[in-house]
Amino acid sequence: MTRPTTVSRAGRRVRAGLAAAALVGVCLAGLPAAPASAATSKVMLQNGAFRDYKLCASANDQLLWLKPVNSGDPYCEWKQWGNSSQFTLYNPAKDQVMAYTGGNEGAVVMEDPGTSSLGQNGELWSWGGEEGWGSFALQSFWDSGQNVDAKSPGDQDVPRTDSVHTRGWRHGYQRELTWNPVPLH
Q: Give the containing element (helix H, strand E) for 26.
A: helix 9-28
Of 125, 66, 80, 83, nearest to 100 (Cα)?
125
Cα(16)–Cα(124) distance, rounded to whole angstroms? 16
Mean pLDDT for 164-177 is 87
The reply to whether the predicted model has a pTM over 0.75 is yes
* CA proximity to 183, closest of 41, 61, 12, 20: 41
- How far apart are the C-alpha atoms of 116 and 119, rounded to whole Å? 5
Q: What letter would DSSP give residue 27?
A: H
Reply yes or no on whether the pLDDT at 93 is more than 90. yes
Give one DSSP letter per residue of 31-57, joined into a string.
SPP--HHHHH--EEEEESS-TTEEEEE
pLDDT at 33: 32
Beta carbons of 162 and 155 less than 8 angstroms apart: no
CATH domain 35-183 topology: Trefoil (Acidic Fibroblast Growth Factor, subunit A) (2.80.10)
Q: Tell me: the pLDDT tens digits for 46-78?
A: 999 999 999 999 999 999 999 999 988 999 999
Amino acid at 15: R
Residue 87 and residue 126 in contact, taking contact as beta carbons nearer than 8 Å: yes
Residues 29 and 72: their CA atoms lie apart, in Å, by: 34
pLDDT band at 172 (very low <50, low <70, confident <90, very high): low
CB within 8 Å of 12: residues ≥ 6 apart: none
Average pLDDT value for the chain: 82
